[in-house]
Amino acid sequence: MDRLRLLASAIAGRTLEVAATDDDGRAWTDGATVFVDADAGPGEQARMVAVQASLVAAGSLEPDVVRQLVRRPGVARRYLAVEGHRALALNGTFLPQSCRGIVDNDVAGLATEVAQSLAVARGRLVLDDPPMAFGEIRPRQVLAAADRTERSTSMGAAGHDARSAVGPEPEEYDDADPRHLGHLLSSPVGGGGVLGRLLRRMFDATRTPGGDGPPGAGTRAHTGRPRSGRGIGVTREAPSASLDAIASLQPRAATYPEWDTHRHRYRPDWCTVHERAPDEFAPIVLPDGLALRRPLARLGTAFERVHRQRQGDEIDIDAAVEARVEALAGSPPEEAVYIESRRHRRDLAVLLLLDVSGSAGEPGPFGRTVHEHQRDAAIALTTALHDLGDRVALYAFNSQGRRAVHVVRLKGFDDRLDRRVVGRLGGLVPAAYTRLGAAIRHGAAVLETRGGTSRRLLVVLSDGFAYDHGYEGTYGEADARRALAEARRRGLGCLCLSIGAATDPAALRRVFGPAAHATVPSPDLLPGLVGPLFHAALRRVS
- The four Cα atoms 410, 411, 417, 421 give a dihedral, to 10 degrees, of -10
How many other C-beta atoms can be found within 10 angstroms of the C-beta atom of residue 501? 27
In the predicted model, what is the mean pLDDT of residues 76-104?
88
Final residue before a domain boundary, out of 239, 264, 279: 239
Query: What is the spatial distance between Cα 485 and Cα 154, in angstroms, rounded to a whole number?
Result: 41
| Residue 176 clears pLDDT 50, i.e. is over it | no
Tell me what pLDDT residue 335 has: 83
Query: What is the spatial distance between Cα 392 and Cα 459, in angstroms, rounded to a whole number?
Result: 11
Q: Is the separation of the CB atoms in 371 and 412 below 8 Å?
A: no
* Domain assignment present for 439: yes
Domain shared by 492 and 410, yes or no? yes
Radius of gyration of the chain (CA): 29
- Closest-CA residue to 438 (of 172, 218, 171): 172
Domain shared by 335 and 369, yes or no? no
Give the DSSP H or E segment for 201: helix 194-202
CA 320, 326, 327, 331 torsion-angle sign = negative
Lowest mean pLDDT among 133-142, 332-341, 461-470: 332-341
Q: Where are the alpha helices (DSSP H) in 297-399?
A: 317-328, 370-387
The confidence band for 539, taking pLDDT boundaries of 50, 70 and 90, is confident
Domain shared by 167 and 312, yes or no? no
Q: What is the DSSP letter of 219?
A: S
Q: Is the separation of the CB atoms in 501 and 464 below 8 Å?
A: yes
The confidence band for 410, taking pLDDT boundaries of 50, 70 and 90, is very high
Structural domain count, the chain: 4
Amino acid 117 reads S
Final residue before a domain boundary, out of 345, 379, 412: 345
Instruction: List the CATH number of the domain containing 366.
Output: 3.40.50.410
* Domain assignment present for 244: no
| Residue 356 clears pLDDT 80, i.e. is over it | yes
Final residue before a domain boundary, out of 314, 345, 376: 345
Domain shared by 334 and 408, yes or no? no
Domain shared by 388 and 506, yes or no? yes
* Domain assignment present for 512: yes
* Domain assignment present for 155: no
Tell me what pLDDT residue 454 has: 86
| Residue 74 clears pLDDT 50, i.e. is over it | yes
Domain shared by 213 and 325, yes or no? no
Domain shared by 357 and 440, yes or no? yes
| Residue 402 clears pLDDT 90, i.e. is over it | yes
Domain shared by 276 and 315, yes or no? no
End-to-end CA distance of the chain: 57
* Domain assignment present for 226: yes
Report CA-CA distances (Å) from 291 to 374, 418, 461.
Answer: 17, 20, 19
The string over 451-490, giving b where at least 16 C-beta atoms fall within 10 Å of a residue's C-beta and e elsewhere, is: bebebbbbbbbbbbbbbbbbbbbbbbbbbbbbbbebbbee
Span 278-294, pLDDT tens digits = 777 787 776 666 788 88
* Domain assignment present for 150: no
* Domain assignment present for 438: yes
The pLDDT mean for the chain works out to 78
Domain shared by 276 and 356, yes or no? yes
Tell me what pLDDT residue 342 has: 65
Domain shared by 377 and 434, yes or no? yes
Q: What is the pTM of this model?
A: 0.51
| Residue 447 clears pLDDT 50, i.e. is over it | yes
Lowest mean pLDDT among 38-42, 436-440, 455-459: 38-42
Tell me what pLDDT residue 310 has: 82
| Residue 537 clears pLDDT 90, i.e. is over it | no
Span 478-526, pLDDT tens digits = 999 999 999 998 999 999 998 988 777 777 778 887 667 888 888 888 8
Span 22-63, pLDDT tens digits = 767 789 999 999 999 888 888 899 999 999 999 998 889 988
Beta strands 253-260 and 265-276, pairing class: antiparallel
Query: What is the spatial distance between Cα 102 and Cα 85, in angstroms, rounded to a whole number?
Result: 8
Share of the chain above pLDDT 90, in %: 34
Q: Could you please report the per-residue DSSP string of 82-150?
A: HHHHHHHHHTGGGS-GGGGGG--HHHHTT-SSHHHHHHHHHS----PPPPGGG----HHHHHHHHHHHH
Domain shared by 286 and 360, yes or no? yes
Strands annotated E in 121-279:
221-224, 233-236, 253-260, 265-276
Span 280-330, pLDDT tens digits = 778 777 666 678 888 888 665 555 677 888 888 888 888 888 888 888 888
Report CA-CA distances (Å) from 482 to 146, 479, 485, 536.
Answer: 34, 5, 5, 19
Q: How far is CA 446 from the centre of its chain?
A: 17
- The four Cα atoms 80, 83, 85, 87 give a dihedral, to 10 degrees, of -130
Look at 20 and 173; give whichever has higher pLDDT: 20
CA 180, 184, 187, 190 torsion-angle sign = negative
Lowest mean pLDDT among 169-183, 396-410, 472-486: 169-183
Q: What is the DSSP letter of 400?
A: S
Tell me what pLDDT residue 435 has: 95
Range of the domain at 500: 253-295+347-539
Span 200-248, pLDDT tens digits = 444 443 343 334 333 333 333 333 333 333 333 333 333 333 333 333 3
Tell me what pLDDT residue 326 has: 83
Domain shared by 376 and 514, yes or no? yes
Q: Is the separation of the CB atoms in 354 and 459 below 8 Å?
A: no
* Domain assignment present for 148: no
In the predicted model, what is the mean pLDDT of residues 82-109?
87
Query: What is the spatial distance between Cα 312 and Cα 337, in angstroms, rounded to a whole number?
Result: 9
